[in-house]
């Protein structure tokens, strides 16, 4: 799947979006808790991926989601961009 075809909850990568190819360390770490979420996560994804600052890392912490649709939504992100890391853990309330 190419980045231009990536969709999550009907989200499309912004026109011209390309992952950063430099190996510079991130200037900003974005940490997002994720549990069976939908619309709020879509807004977060739009915000993160449209940043003008390109030296960031995005840590998405899946707190034991059990909704199949929510889990499917995370799949494309696992390989979409090296700056995005998914952390799976059991639900901790």
Q: What is the mean pLDDT of each run of 10 residues along the chain (93 residues)?
A: 44 59 80 87 85 90 92 83 92 86
Specify the pLDDT at position 4: 42
Specify the pLDDT at position 64: 95
**Dihedrals phi, psi of 45, to nearest 5 degrees:** -60, -45
In this structure, what CATH number is given to the domain that contains residue 74? 3.90.550.10
In a domain, 21, yes or no: no
In the chain, how many domains are there?
A: 1
In a domain, 7, yes or no: yes
Which contiguous run of DSSP H or E holds residue 73?
helix 68-74
Specify the pLDDT at position 11: 53
In a domain, 83, yes or no: yes
In a domain, 22, yes or no: no
Which contiguous run of DSSP H or E holds residue 46?
helix 39-49
41: domain range? 3-16+27-89
In a domain, 37, yes or no: yes
Specify the pLDDT at position 15: 59
Residue 84 and residue 60: Cα distance in Å, rounded? 8
Specify the pLDDT at position 35: 94
In a domain, 33, yes or no: yes
């Amino acid at each position: 799947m190419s980045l231009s075809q990536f969709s999550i909850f009907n989200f499309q990568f912004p026109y011209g979006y390309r992952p950063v190819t430099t190996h510079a360390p991130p200037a900003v770490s974005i940490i997002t808790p994720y549990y069976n979420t939908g619309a709020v996560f879509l807004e977060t994804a739009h915000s993160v991926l449209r940043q003008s600052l390109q030296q960031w890392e995005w840590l998405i912490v899946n707190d034991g989601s059990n909704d199949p649709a929510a889990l499917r939504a995370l799949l494309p992100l696992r390989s979409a961009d090296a700056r995005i890391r998914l952390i799976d853990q059991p639900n901790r309330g």
